[in-house]
Every structure is written in C-alpha cells, then in structure tokens.
C-alpha cells in the first residue's frame, strides 16, 4: 500500500516549516556591517504607567524649568497637599531617567517654564471606586504655562505624577510640546498588606502608599487583623489589641489609622480595611 500523495498537505507542511526561517531572515539586522547599537528609535521618555495617549511630536524639545516654577491648583484639602508635595519633588529631585533623553532636545535659549495651572471641574467628588481619574496635560512649546485639566482632584493627582516624570536633570529640563490624555484601564488598582501575620510600623505603610501613588495605584487593601495577631486598637473593646497584638509596641491606635487614611487621601489612595476576627 502506497499512501496517497497529497500535494496540498505537502505545501502546507513546507510553509509551516519554512515560515519561522523566513521570519528570522526578515527580522535579522540589515545593517550588519555596523556593530554598534543605534539608540531607541522613538520614545526617549517613558511615562509610567503608560498613558492612554502621549504625544511629543518631532522635533522633540525640552525647555528649562524656572527655579521659581509654581503649581497653581484649586484649594482642596488633599489636592493642595499633593500639589505642594509635587512642587517640592520637581524642584529638588533632579531625577535622571534610566534612559536619558538625548541632550540635543534641550533648547536652553527658550524661556523657562514658569507654571503649571491645574483645573478641576468637580472638586467635591469623593475618592470612591469608579471615581473619574482621567486628566489631560498640555505643556506648550511656544511659551505660556502648562495646563492640567481633570474632572476630580484624584485625576489631577495622576496628572501631577505624569508631569513630574516629564521633568529631569540638573538644571531641570521639562519636555515641551507634550500632550497627554489619560485614564486608567482598571478602576481598582490595589495592593494588599497583611499586618496581622507581620506587623509593619506606620512609616512602612505610608512609604508603601507613597510608592503606590507614584505608580498610580489607588487602593491600599489593609488586611489589619487576623488569627495571628490583632494589632488594631478598638477603644470600645481594648482587650482585643491588649491581648491579641504581638506586643504593646505593635499596635495601630485610632490616631495611627487616621494618619494612614489621611496620607492615603493626600496620595489619591483609598484605604480599604479588612478586619478578620480571630
């Protein structure tokens, strides 16, 4: 018995076998004579997390940031705190990106950027699940202030984070001609910390929340208590922490909790407590 020869099957098989080879050939470098790597072709600045749209059209330019640079934002308990914090960061950090933008982008003879104006349409919007965190940011190349527009204070905080990532070096340079439109893909972007199995001092918690906010995360899921320990001081039931904590120096007082919640709000991070009973 001789198996029937099927020409179609043969050709298909041949294609399957050769396709990876063709792919390798077509993607191999065409400039094999030059051994040096060329710089990344497009994006010298990588805002993190990546905004929905980020435009920095050619020719990409950066201007100096004025040493008298200001952020003017509406009066809001938490947004004002965030604006002050970002202003300090922007004026003092002088951060050096891992992949520095080419120095050729800096036009040092252009007028330095003087101000970022923040506009929020609904200042009363609370930080709840599904809060509008969209924002748009424009840093003009032809002079004038940068503008950050958001529906809520929480969206404005995300925009401040993005702006801070567009400033680098010493003296500070800021990318101009930039337009960002951004809103998160997921409403809940959280991190959970279990302070029952392991106690963490309040400073560790606030440091964690600050890092979350730099990454535009918005929910700190605080797994406060469980069977292993009960560090939460509940004034109406003081024995829970007195007998249940790992030690009297390993508890969270009502003031500690207030501090964590306030710190979270100043950073656009909602604290979601989980209280498990022993």
Ligand X SMILES: *[C@@H]1O[C@H](CO)[C@@H](O)[C@H](O)[C@H]1NC(C)=O
Binding site for ligand X (CB under 6 A): 61, 107, 109-110
**Closest approach of ligand X to the CB of residue 116, in Å:** 19
Closer residue to ligand X (CB): 65 or 160: 65
Closer residue to ligand X (CB): 65 or 71: 65
**Closest approach of ligand X to the CB of residue 107, in Å:** 4
Closer residue to ligand X (CB): 34 or 109: 109
Q: Residues 261, 210: contact at Cβ < 8 Å?
A: no
φ/ψ (deg, to 5) at 140: -70, 150
Distance set, CA 90 to CA 71, 102, 176, 248 (Å) = 10, 20, 15, 40
Neighbour-count burial of 140, counting CB atoms closer than 10 A to its CB (0-12 exposed, 13-18 middle, 19+ buried)? middle
The residues, ordered by sequence, that sit 6+ positions from 100 with a Cβ below 8 Å of its Cβ are: 44, 168, 169
**Closest approach of ligand X to the CB of residue 112, in Å:** 11
What tokens does 84 get? Answer: 């002050």
**Closest approach of ligand X to the CB of residue 136, in Å:** 24
**Closest approach of ligand X to the CB of residue 179, in Å:** 18
CA distance 77 to 47: 27
Query: How far, in whole angstroms, is CA 208 from its chain's centroid?
Result: 13
Closer residue to ligand X (CB): 44 or 74: 44
């Amino acid at each position: 018995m001789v198996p029937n020869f099927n020409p179609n099957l043969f050709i298909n098989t041949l294609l399957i076998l050769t396709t990876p080879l063709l792919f390798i050939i077509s993607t191999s470098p065409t400039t094999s004579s030059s051994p040096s790597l060329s710089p990344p072709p497009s994006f010298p600045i990588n805002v993190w997390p990546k905004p929905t749209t980020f435009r920095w059209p050619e020719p990409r330019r950066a201007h100096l940031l004025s040493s008298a640079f200001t952020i003017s934002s509406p009066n809001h308990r938490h947004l004002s705190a965030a604006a002050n914090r970002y202003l300090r960061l922007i004026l003092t950090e002088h951060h050096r990106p891992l992949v520095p933008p080419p120095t050729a982008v800096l036009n040092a003879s252009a007028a330095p950027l003087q101000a970022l104006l923040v506009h929020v349409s609904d200042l009363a919007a609370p930080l709840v699940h599904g809060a509008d965190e969209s924002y748009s940011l424009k840093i003009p190349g032809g002079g004038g202030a940068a503008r950050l527009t958001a529906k809520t204070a929480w969206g404005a905080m995300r925009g401040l984070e993005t702006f801070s990532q567009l400033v680098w070096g010493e003296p500070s340079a800021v990318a101009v001609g930039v337009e960002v439109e951004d809103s998160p893909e997921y409403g809940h972007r959280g991190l959970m910390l279990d302070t029952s199995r392991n106690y963490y001092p309040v400073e560790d918690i606030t440091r964690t929340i600050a890092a979350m906010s730099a990454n535009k995360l918005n929910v700190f899921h605080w797994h406060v208590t469980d069977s292993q320990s009960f560090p939460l001081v509940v004034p109406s039931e003081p024995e829970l922490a007195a007998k249940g904590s790992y030690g009297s120096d390993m508890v969270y007082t009502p003031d500690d909790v207030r501090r964590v919640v306030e710190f979270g709000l100043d950073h656009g991070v909602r604290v979601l407590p989980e209280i498990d009973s022993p």
